Structure 1
Amino acid sequence: MKFSKMFKAAALLGAAGSVALLSGCAMNQSSALNGMKAGGHEYLLTVTRPNQLHVIDTETKQVLRSCDVPGTFGTGAVQPSPDGRTAYVLTNGAEDVYGFDITNCEITFSAKQSQNGEKVKTFISLAISGDGKELYTVQNPTRKLNDRYEVLAPRLAVFNTEDGMDAKSVRTFPVDRRITKIMTMENGEVILGGADIKAINPENGETRVLSALQSWARGADWIPPDAFAMFTQGEHVGEYIMPYFTIKWNGAPGDMEQAEFWWGMSRIDIATGEVDERETVPFEFIVFNWITDPADSNILYGAFNQLSKHDLSQNKTVAITDLDHTFYSINMDRDRTIYIGGTSSDISIHNPDTLEKIGSIQLSGDMSTSDLRIARLL
């Protein structure tokens, strides 16, 4: 009996110790994350002038912290790491990349791309490997000589994120000109958005065409599409999506009276590499980007002066609402809430079913051409 009581007492003491230990771990984790929720909780990332990275809780719609970004404003391109902990920001006139711990604004990575007499610019293009170990940029270098500027060939640059501060590229490979938004696929290839959409193997530089746009072979009845590759989004559904505009001539080429004007898209599943290239809806107004509804891949949303909803199964625009002003960028969280930003200092929040405005987030400066990215903090 006494042994039984001793056993129970020991068990209770052990359980209490385990609870205390677990509580301590929880407090330590909470402390390490500065009160931020992990476990896949989503945060919205964007950059404003003069140069700040903002971390916004998608649950409360509040700005949790604003991190000062070194250098002058670049393009506002942001790339979250796979674990959501780090936000890589293109800054200093689109030359340098800094990595921020979004839980405390600590700078954990930097890469100054202009080196050895070269002036390097990166236009939008930031991507990271699926394991978070490599960061990719497309570099557009020039060299200043005594009497002229020498324009050098663009290249994909590969950085090791573990190199931390003052990282240097460990590999480079030649790529096409006019590359802007890029994204990695699960097979490790990097999608390159340019005149055509290609994929490059960042280990050996081998490239292949995913979606032929400027080089498509549709004959004289179609004009080569004008693709808009400014903002990177699609992480909420695991895709890369590129909108384009094209014209189909039903009469003689140039006969506008009989022509059809179309929005189209090249949409790539980053898990399978499957490409969905097609015309979507008639061109009736401008959008800067599409995002896909996670509940129905046939539903796309676009924004510029209006927020619009489109049904690909019908090739039809099904809803439109006017916005308070022009917006450039659009994204959506896992709960299907729509966020529209860029241009000014406010992010407009909308219901995806009705397109009704349901809120607004005011920032300290204008976003200009900045991304709106979703980070899931693990």
Structure 2
Amino acid sequence: MKFLKMLKAAALLGAAGSSALLSGYAVGDTAQVNGMKAGGHEYLLTMSRPNQLHVIDTETKKLIRSCDVPGTFGAGAVLPSPDGRIAYVLSNKVEDVYGFDITDCKMVFSAKQSQNGERVKTFVSLAISGDGKELYTVQNPTRKLNDRYEVLAPRLAVFNTEDGLDAKSVRTFPVDRRITKIMTMKNGEVILGGADIKAINPANGETRVLSALQNWARGADWIPPDAFAMFTQGEHVGEYIMPYFTIKWNGDPGDMAKAEFWWGMSRIDVATGEVDERETVPFEFIVFNWITDPADSNILYGSFNQLSKHDISKKKTIAVKDLDHTFYSINMDRDRTIYIGGTSSDISVHNPDTLEKIGSIQLPGDMTTSDLRIARLL
């Protein structure tokens, strides 16, 4: 009897091992999917010309996979799925959306948004539901007529990710113009970054204001802020962050001698919906984006011609490091390593404490305005 029980236990263990191997996961070792570390392991995602999606291991700082994307290069927008397995990208001059399995480059989703005589452009705007079942874009359609183009109203489009390689929107709702970077909150609403930052319910189209920017009520002493909404990042700390520039008049409006020039931000906690809107540090040089230090929410980093570090509790820039060239986009992994990309074909890797360059990742083509996104492969 004891021998039979041992045989049954061995058979069950063998079956479990075979099942795990078939599904792509290792037994008794670090979880893997198609040979890639999983279990929350982080990967950096970006795009480059001529038109490729790149997957970089944040542990080794090595490029492990490049996926060919159909169509002409767009703006380089990238969106990881909640489980880190799928990367959605904009292509074909920001008209089409494709989804790729980052473990093998297999295309699992495609949506050609230009349909029925409309030409549709999506500027940066990609978001996904918390369960990964719905994909959201902001569509900016025009209709080509015999003698003119007719500009149509923008709309939020909802796709089912399980619709595969010929997906069509299942719902649309009108939204404001000038919307670029978007992100989904835990309650299911989609943050819309435009003249003001709003949230929309993708089930019924109801909207509300989260942070009034162009329409803020600060009086004549402040100019409405100029928000820069090009790159989406913040997944490493669960936030949506929008940098802006503004001026405070301490004399007559337009009196530059007495004016204060400020960087600011609207930062939204995607779990709670809490909004942190404030001026951060005096405007001294150009910053394209902020990222938050996961160890201290008062510490922000920015990049353009310099990598900079700021303590917003003191409204003070505490460190600046000149870069090899201009970099547009910036992000940070769970271990606080800073990655700066865009413009060219190299990603610069930096220590967050000293800002010193500690590595470089070379890509086969230039990134121009591409995102840098963090995917955690489950």
Give the structure 2 partner of residue 284 of structure 1: 284
After TM superposition, list the pairs within 5 Å mapping 1:70-85 onto structure 2: 70-85=70-85
Distance 2:87 2:17 in 1: 29
Q: Does structure 2 retain, via aligned residues, the 8 Å contact 1:245–1:262?
A: yes
**CA displacement at 1:131 relative to structure 2:** 0.5
Q: Does structure 2 retain, via aligned residues, the 8 Å contact 1:30–1:36?
A: no
Give the structure 1 partner of residue 262 of structure 2: 262
After TM superposition, list the pairs within 5 Å mapping 1:88-237 onto structure 2: 88-237=88-237
Following TM superposition, where does structure 1 have runs of at least 4 consecutive aligned residues deviating by more than 4 angstroms? none
Give the structure 2 partner of residue 370 of structure 1: 370
AA in 2 matched with 1:21:
A
Distance 1:284 1:309 in 2: 13
Give unpaired runs (5+ residues) of structure 1: 1-5
**CA displacement at 1:15 relative to structure 2:** 4.0
Aligned CA-pair RMSD = 1.1
Is 1:16 matched with 2:10? yes
Aligned length: 372
Distance 1:227 1:62 in 2: 34
2:4 partner SS = helix
Give unpaired runs (5+ residues) of structure 2: 26-31
Distance 1:41 1:18 in 2: 29
Distance 2:35 2:10 in 1: 25
Q: Does structure 2 retain, via aligned residues, the 8 Å contact 1:199–1:209?
A: yes
1:16 partner SS = helix
AA in 2 matched with 1:41:
H
Distance 2:13 2:63 in 1: 33
Deviation string 1:299-341 (CA, Å, 9 cap, x unpaired) is 0000000000000111000011011100000000111111000
2:166 partner SS = coil
Q: Does structure 2 retain, via aligned residues, the 8 Å contact 1:95–1:113?
A: yes
Deviation string 1:90-114 (CA, Å, 9 cap, x unpaired) is 0000000000011110110000000
Distance 2:23 2:338 in 1: 30
Give the structure 1 partner of residue 245 of structure 2: 245
Larger radius of gyration: 1
1:257 partner SS = helix
Q: What percentage of aligned pairs have identical amino acids?
A: 85
Q: Does structure 2 retain, via aligned residues, the 8 Å contact 1:56–1:62?
A: yes
**CA displacement at 1:64 relative to structure 2:** 1.1
Distance 1:364 1:255 in 2: 49
After TM superposition, list the pairs within 5 Å mapping 1:24-39 onto structure 2: 24-30=18-24, 33-39=33-39
**CA displacement at 1:130 relative to structure 2:** 0.5
Deviation string 1:35-90 (CA, Å, 9 cap, x unpaired) is 00111111110000000000111111111110000000011001111011110000
Deviation string 1:233-272 (CA, Å, 9 cap, x unpaired) is 0000000000000000011111111110000000000000
Distance 2:124 2:207 in 1: 20
Distance 1:37 1:253 in 2: 57
**CA displacement at 1:22 relative to structure 2:** 4.0
Distance 1:20 1:355 in 2: 50
> Structure 1 length normalisation: TM-score?
0.96
Give the structure 2 partner of residue 320 of structure 1: 320
Distance 1:317 1:25 in 2: 54
Give the structure 2 partner of residue 3 of structure 1: none
AA in 2 matched with 1:362:
Q
Distance 2:348 2:83 in 1: 26
Distance 2:55 2:200 in 1: 31
